[in-house]
Amino acid sequence: MSPKHDYYETLHVAKAAAQDEIRKSYRKLARKYHPDLNPGDKAAEERFKLVQEAYDVLSDPKKRQMYDQYGFYSENGVPGGGAGPGPPPGPDFGGFDFSEYFQSGAPGAGRRTSAGDTGSTGGFRDIFSQFFKGGAAEQPEPEKGGDLEYGLNIDFWQAIKGSQMRLNITRYDVCGTCNGSGSAGGQTVSCPQCNGTGQVSQMAGAMRFNLTCPKCGGSGKLKNACPTCHGEGRIAHTETVDVRIPPGARNGSRLRVPGKGNAGTMGAPAGDLYINTHVEDHPYFHRDGDDIQIRVPVSVWEAGLGAKIEVPTIDGRTLLKIPQGTQNGQKLRLREKGVFNARTNQRGDQIVEVAIQAPKVQDERTKEILREMAALHPEDPRADLWEKL
Ligand SMILES: [Zn+2]
Ligand SMILES: [Zn+2]
């Protein structure tokens, strides 16, 4: 694999360099040594690979931490350990430069190994996975609370006129006992896992390591956890939230209630509550955006002779003029009888679809009149249909 080299040196940065410093330097060097810009130059290619490798480790806080602590980083665990003759058990390897060790084989073993050529790494791998779980995770940082999503069914009229709804929601709220600190106050207690030293010993094969204590993150102390929230700083509870549904709310609209999501940890701001409205259908009125559609039955003579009929609207009854000679399926518009739109400050229209109903003929007199009509209109009503076939 790679020869031993100092990643910080490779990237031309100091050991204490900040992430963006590392990134900047990496970009500069990657450009300089990029194979496309140095065709055929083996040295540049090697250099480019080293820069990539160094950046891969130093740009990742976990990998960098491990590199800083052990002087190397390996994704495959560490070969050579455990198998074969190892160093005598017992010594404290804290601060030991493992890159040295793994490049040249175990001291005193006289055996040369290079990273990547053996596989018996179980003990190490366990240590590293444990190592990653500890450290950072045990030192929580304030985190903004998550957003919550709730679905809300409202009926047609609640959506048209708007309404005030009361919702029961379950959310994390700031713990009242500790005011979100998670601590019961007073002094901290000594970490039981490391006895307050901040370090724990681990055996891997024949070797013993000192690792940062995963429970306290190396501080050796644990805060006196709040008994109500067990140190979480927030607790789940159910509360009622009043929600104002604006007039004209549409199906699928999303209402935001700021600050009613989950509380953040350690005093960080809460998330928001989002309410997804589902508007139930009405048996006759149909919403099409801000317009209302309705089918209205009209008799043959109303359609033929013209008429003024009453139709339902969302405001109540309204007169609608049926023009003489109206056909079935024709659509008539009632301006501004639709749904109020708060954004445009305007109302939509109501669209009335005419549904002509044939008379129910039982008596002789009606039949007589219809026969007379038939004689007056010998034309084929399906003439168009035949023509277009
Ligand atoms: Zn608490
Ligand atoms: Zn500890």
Q: By C-alpha distance, which of 146, 123, 276, 284 is closest to 211?
A: 123
Counting as low any pLDDT under 50, the low residues of the chain are: 1-3, 77-138
pLDDT of residue 63: 85
The predicted structure's pLDDT at residue 78: 43
The whole-number pLDDT of residue 273 equals 94
Ligand nearest to the CA of residue 183, numbered in listed order = 1
pLDDT of residue 226: 86
| Neighbouring residues of the ion ligand 1, judged by CB less than 5 Å | 175, 177-178, 226, 228-229
pTM equals: 0.52
Query: What's the CA gap between 174 and 31, in Å, rounded?
Result: 49
- pLDDT, residue 262, reads 93
Residue tagged 């793994």 (tokens): 102
For residue 372, the model assigns a pLDDT of 96
Of all ligands present, the nearest one to the C-alpha of 228 is: 1
- Looking at all shown ligands, the one closest to residue 200's CA atom is 2
Predicted pLDDT of residue 6 = 86
Among left, alpha and beta (phi > 0; psi -120 to 50; other), residue 84 is left
For ligand 2, the distance from its centroid to the CA atom of residue 196, given in whole angstroms, is: 6
- pLDDT at res. 99: 42
| Cα–Cα distance, 12 to 54 (Å, whole number) | 11
Q: What pLDDT does residue 84 have? A: 37
CA of 8 to the centre of ligand 2 (A): 30
- Tens of pLDDT, residue by residue over 190-245, are 888 888 888 888 877 777 888 888 888 888 888 788 888 887 888 998 999 999 99
Alpha-helical regions (H) of the chain: 7-10, 19-33, 42-58, 61-70, 98-104, 122-133, 156-161, 300-305, 364-376, 383-388
Q: Please report the pLDDT score of residue 225 as a whole number.
A: 82
Question: 136: CA distance to ligand 2 center in Å?
Answer: 13
